[in-house]
Chains A and B, each alone.
Chain A
Amino acid sequence: MLSRVAESVYWMSRYVERAENVARFIDVNFQLMLDEAGGEDRQWQPLVNTTGDHEDFNKRYGTATQENVIKFLTFDTANPNSILSCLRQARENARTVREIISSEMWLQINKFFLTVTSAADNSDWLDSANEFFTEVKEASHLFAGITSATMAHNEAWHFCRLGKMLERADKTSRMLDVKYYILLRSADDVGSPFDDIQWAAVLRSASAFEMYRKRHGRISPKGVVEFLILDREFPRAIQFCLVAARDSLHAISGTPLGTFRYQPEKLLGQLCSDLSFASLEEIIAQGLHEYLDDLQTKVNAVGAGIFETFFAFKTPQSQKKPARVVAQ
């Protein structure tokens, strides 16, 4: 398929996933606030940190009040990662590849976009914020379902999945990082009922609460970390996401699993192996923050490698270098 088209499909999918994750973050914070008396605003700064856009936020808004943060993350068109901006970009990308995606997918992404823009135009919007975030999550799920059910699972579909899974791995790691940092900062809270509630909220923001309970039962910080990083079956766990991304990458390139031909295959393969053989103890010993930071850097490098390999503008001459298949 065309490089330009592959890139658009990949970003379309990433942006939809990003919008969903932002909605998750905000929604779960709402839930948390209902459980905590007083000091609400301290809950909102970490949310901005999760997205990695805190510098822009601090410059333009200053204090992280509920209203500021929600505005910044939801409808601020100057924030490229707000829900509205994500949807705008997802739709713009979809528009350039309408002939590749199914009409049903286009219809859904268009409806999704209209839902968000009409909410953005509604001044009483905050009263039904909860419903709105639920709608965003559902619209994203519907898009994923339609994609899976109406689009041939061909190269373009694998680029969709690749984008979605890398985005999701990145967001789960960020969420975990920020929450862990905040939660363990006040040592007094550890093991208190409030702590349980906080950790349950972390799980809920990844729709992981029920699945976690089935698997681990009691809520403990270590259990949550293990579940969200190393679980092989839960679809928002980092290991699950990266394995799915790797499978799609190899489906696209045709390189056998366990070998690599392109740089991102090598990086992602190594990342998946590391996760397969990692233990929670080692992660904690390294320091969770350091571990997640390193992981995010590697996921970003995979993204950059995908760009170089599949999307970047090349001339016929530069392609003539013989490609080598290297066994890992």
Chain B
Amino acid sequence: MRFNQYEVGNFFDEMFSAEGSPRSAAQALVRSIESLPEGELLTRQQAAERALLQMGITFNVYGEQAGVEKIFPFDILPRIVSAEEWNRIDAGLKQRIRALNLFIDDIYHQQRILKDGIVPKDIIFSAKSYRQQCVGWNPPSGIWCHITGTDLVRHSDGQVYVLEDNLRCPSGVSYVLENRQIMKTLFPRLFAASRIRPVSNYPLKLRDMLESIAPDHIQKPRVVLLTPGIYNSAYFEHSFLAQQMGIELVEGRDLTVEDEQVVMRTTKGFERVDVIYRRLDDDFMDPECFRPDSALGVPGLMQVYKAGNVALANAPGTGIADDKVVYAYVPRMIKYYLGEEILLPNVPTYICAEEKDLTYVLEHLPELVVKAANESGGYGMLVGPHSTKEQCCDFAERIKAAPRNYIAQPTLALSRVPTISGDHFEGRHVDLRPYILYGKDIFVLPGGLTRVALKKGSLVVNSSQGGGSKDTWVLADASHGTQRQEQSTAADTH
């Protein structure tokens, strides 16, 4: 397949400039793809799909029959990020996470930011994800958000914006690792010739981070991953990460509390657990502390946590920074806590709880994207330009009924990446979710999940709504030369 028919359109294209020539970071890739014999790229695309099916890299779709699995569609044309651009993203994310963590710690302690009037009190106290129970808790080293996935998008102005913060249980990193594995087998020579920063050490970094938050007196902490079970949409990822980290994958029913310790039921009796990487929302973790009807959690877990005998990642309560209204205040938080200007800007956001913004939003619904404060996965959203008049009216009523629950943003023209469509390439819209670990220091995985809206013209990249993924290649700059070599040697062993 050739790119000569490829149309960049009125969008920012990640691979080609507006004039249609390959961007410098993508030149080697474009050359290599064009030099493949006719039909070869499609053959490799099919090989990738077969590998995904056989590896069982699937997700469960809610609303369909329980246990129905689908492959997460994968397009083999990667998204390329240049070294300079990545350095800016990396710095921006570190800044943001540092501020968000300070914010969460503040909310559950002195609440200075509320007293100083930077963030309105009622926004926080009315947030579904605010946890009164967490007030006064002290997670180890004051770190709450150990694992974050931040959604980034690029608009047609070429600027990368932060679209959303995911500080509860961000998923998708397993696809990053598996996609890379598949790409390496499909394009070994291209990999050898390019300087692509590795991602395969993520499970090592994650385990190191988790061990680092164990209660102080524990010599060799036992870390487990707590999953809601095999019917959860991200179950594949839970088992994959547990396997790659070499830790136990547990369900709530495997754990119990005894003598202020969390223990797990084994064939040899009960064994102590020190760190829990929980992939379960706060609400479900402990029926004695949060939702009493939860059968997925561990009764008494929070007592043990408060006593400092078990660490949880992420800490309960982090969801407050995940709220889409709170998001709108992040630039002000960065200024407040760090005294810095935001490096990676937010998408301009209208807060429906503020009267002036509300009026504007209601008048301009057909141009805007409206999001519910507490939903994720593309649910509870209105994409104005793609909606009917009835849908807009319906949403207007919902907003008026509960303005606190909504924000609105201009419809962004997400950037595109060439994607295989039948026997040719077409541009498809993408976003990018990098993963950030916060333990002793902050680590940003170079790359992340590039989600792609496979339907022509669609802007919704969520896997539950017809999205797929691509590998993300972050190119190394000169300073990464030796580091890359070491990491890839270490990583190739597993």
Contacts and interface: CB of A to CB of B under 8 A. Distances in A.
* Physical interaction between A and B: yes
Contact of A98 (B243, B251, B253, B256): B243
Interface string B43-55: 0000000000111
Interface in A88-125: 92, 95-100, 103, 106-107, 110-111, 114
B188 interface: no
B265 A98 contact: no
Contacts of B265: 2-4, 313-314
A315 B242 CA distance: 25
- The prevalent SS among residues of A at the interface is helix
B240 to A, nearest CB: 7
A315 B269 CA distance: 10
A99 B249 contact: yes
Nearest to B225: A99
Contacts of A107: 54-56
B266 A1 contact: yes
A106 B230 CA distance: 15
Interface in B250-301: 250-251, 253-254, 256, 258, 263-267, 269-270
Given A1-B266, A252-B267, A99 B55 contact: no
Contact of B267 (A3, A95, A100, A313): A3
A99 B56 CA distance: 13
A6 B264 CA distance: 13
A110 B58 CA distance: 12
A196 interface: no
A110 B256 contact: no
Contacts of B240: 98-99
A95 B54 CA distance: 13
B242 A316 contact: no
B372 to A, nearest CB: 32
A6 B258 contact: no
B267 A316 contact: no
Contacts of B266: 1-3
A110 B230 contact: no
A252 B268 CA distance: 9
Given A95-B230, A98-B243, A110-B54, A6 B267 contact: yes
A6 B268 CA distance: 11
Contacts of B235: 95
Given A92-B230, A110-B54, A111-B54, A99 B243 contact: yes
Interface residues of A, number: 28
A3 B235 CA distance: 19
Given A3-B265, A107-B55, A315 B256 contact: yes
Contacts of B55: 103, 106-107, 110
B367 interface: no
A3 B254 contact: yes
B129 interface: no
A3 B243 CA distance: 17
Given A2-B266, A98-B240, A114 B53 contact: yes
A76 interface: no
B248 interface: yes
Nearest to B248: A2
A202 B374 CA distance: 64
B50 to A, nearest CB: 10
A110 B54 CA distance: 6
A99 B270 contact: no
B53 A98 contact: no
A311 B242 CA distance: 21
A92 B264 CA distance: 22
Interface string B470-486: 00000000000000000
B239 interface: yes
A180 interface: no
Nearest to B51: A107
B253 A4 contact: yes
Nearest to A309: B267
A154 to B, nearest CB: 12
Contact of B239 (A3, A98, A310): A98
| Max chain B C-beta neighbours (<10 A), residue from A5, A103, A106 | A5
Interface in B53-90: 53-56, 67
A238 B256 CA distance: 40
Given A3-B254, A316-B263, A106 B56 contact: yes
Contacts of A99: 239-240, 242-243, 247-249
A319 interface: yes
Given A98-B240, A106-B56, A110-B56, A310 B263 contact: no
B177 to A, nearest CB: 12
| Max chain B C-beta neighbours (<10 A), residue from A2, A111, A155, A319 | A2
Contacts of B53: 114
Contacts of A114: 53-54
Nearest to B259: A316
Contacts of A110: 54-56
Nearest to A8: B230
B402 to A, nearest CB: 40
Interface in B3-40: none
Contacts of A4: 251, 253-254, 265
A155 B267 contact: yes
A1 B254 CA distance: 11
Given A155-B267, A313-B265, 14 more contacts: A2-B264, A2-B266, A2-B267, A3-B267, A4-B251, A95-B235, A97-B239, A98-B249, A107-B54, A107-B55, A110-B56, A314-B265, A316-B256, A319-B269
11 contacts: A1-B248, A2-B248, A2-B265, A4-B251, A4-B265, A95-B239, A96-B230, A98-B240, A107-B54, A107-B56, A111-B54
